[in-house]
């Protein structure tokens, strides 16, 4: 649980909110929540590797086409 308290009585609410948002971002809590938002069937190690290879090849092809000025 992330907690933020006022540094002193003069600290504005905006500053405190900014510090809270920064702590949440750095902790990675939001990334975990978004990742677990939808259930995905567990993939086998082989399937994950195959998908990663396909993604990597597509990325390389996209970069090559961009350098050649194609779509």
Predicted pLDDT of residue 10: 86
pLDDT score, position 51:
95
Q: What's the confidence (pLDDT) of residue 39?
A: 82
Q: Give dist(CA 12, CA 17) in Å, integer.
A: 9
Q: Distance (Å, rounded) from C-alpha 5 to C-alpha 10?
A: 12
Annotated domain spans of the chain: 1-39, 41-71
Cβ pair 6, 16 in contact under 8 A: yes
The series of mean pLDDT values per 10 residues for the chain, 71 residues long, is 84 91 91 87 89 97 93 76
Question: pLDDT at position 55, please?
Answer: 97
- Which pLDDT does position 47 carry in this prediction? 92
């Amino acid at each position: 649980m992330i907690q933020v308290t006022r540094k002193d009585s003069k600290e504005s609410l905006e500053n405190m909110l900014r510090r809270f948002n920064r702590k949440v971002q750095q902790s990675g809590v939001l990334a975990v929540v978004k990742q677990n938002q939808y259930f995905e069937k567990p993939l086998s190690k082989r399937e994950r590797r195959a998908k990663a290879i396909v993604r990597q090849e597509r990325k390389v092809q996209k970069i090559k086409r961009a350098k050649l000025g194609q779509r």
